[in-house]
Amino acid sequence: MQKRKLGNQGLEVSAIGLGCMGMTFSYVPFPKKEDMIVMMEKAVEQGVTFFDTAEVYGPYNNEELVGEALKPFRDKVVIATKFGFDIQDGKMVGVNSKPEHIKQAVEGSLKRLGTDVIDLYYQHRVDPNVPIEDVAGVIKDLIAEGKVKYFGLSEAGAQTIRKAHAVQPVSALQSEYSLWTRQHEREIIPTIEELGIGLVAFSPLGKGFLAGKIDESTKFGEGDIRNILPRYTEEAREANKALLDLINQFAEKKNATPAQIALAWVLAQKPWIVPIPGTTKLHRLTENNGAASIELTKEELQEIEDASAQIEITGTRYTEAMEKSTGL
C-alpha cells in the first residue's frame, strides 16, 4: 500500500489506516479478542501501518488489545492514541487536559500499549478550561522526554489548531470527514493545509451507512451508538439513500464496492488525508484496503461533486450535547 505524510515533522503512514475503536467500544456486540488480534495481523500483512486507539475506548481495554496484537510488528507500525477525558468507574465523566492529568494519562497508555513511546498522541477533545498552549507545552515536554513522537488534535477548531501549532507543531488533526460530513471544508481544511498539518479522517464510511449495508430496516444492537444519533433514525436513513444511490452508480462504473468509492473519494481530496475506517470483519478489511488502488478521475470527482451538491443530508452527525464537546 502507498504511504502518505502527515504534517511536516516526518510522520509517514499507510494511505489507509485501521480504526480499532469498534473492537471494544460503541458498536455491540463485540468480537472475540483472538479474532481481533488476527485482524490486526492481517492488516499489517496487507500493508496497513497506522492503527488508531484511545484510552477511553473500553475504557482501557482497546489499548491493551492493540498493544498485544501489534507487539510483534512494533517497529513497523504507527500507533496513535488519545488523552483528554476523565474516566471514573469505567465511564467518561467529562474532558480533562490539565497538565498533571496528561502526564498520568501518558504513563497509563504506554503501559497498556506495552511500548516505550507513543507515535502519535492526540488530545481527544478540546478542554475549554485549559489553555491549548498549556496542553501543547506538555506534549512538547513529552516529545523531549522521548515518550511521544508526534502531536495530534481531534475535532479542534481553527483557532485552537493555530494556537497549539505555535507552541508545538501539530502533525495531524483527526476529525470526521466523508462524503456526507463535509463542514470542515469551510475553515478547518484550509487552515491545516496552510499550516502543513495532515488530516486523519474518522468515520469515512459514515459509521457503515456509506458502505451500503445499512438501510431503514436495519436494527442496531442495544448499546450501539447509532441508536442515539439523529442521522441514523429510520426516517433519516430512508431520506439519505439518495447519496447511497450516487455512490452505487460509481461503484458499478468502477467495478468497485460502495465502501471503496467512499474511501477513494476521501483519498482523492488531498494527498495528506488518511482515512481510518474501522471494521471487525476480515473481508471488510480487505475490501476497504482495496480502495487505495482505485483512482477517481478529475471528471468523475466533479461529477460526484455536482450530484452530491443537489442532495440534502437528513439528520445531524451527533446529538447537540455531543457536538458541544467537539471544540468546533
Which residues are catalytically annotated? 57
Q: How far is it, in rounded angstroms, from Cα 272 to Cα 15?
A: 9
Name the 3-class secondary structure at 240: coil
Phi, psi of 79 (to 5 degrees): -105, 125
Where do the H-state alpha helices sit in 188-316?
188-195, 234-239, 241-253, 258-269, 282-289, 298-309
Cell representation of residue 236: 433519516
Contact call for residues 20 and 62 (beta carbons, < 8 A): yes
Q: How far is it, in rounded angstroms, from Cα 170 to Cα 321?
A: 27
* Burial letters 129-158, b for 16+ CB under 10 A, else e: ebebeebbbbbeebbeeebbbbbbbbbbbb
Contact call for residues 123 and 97 (beta carbons, < 8 A): yes
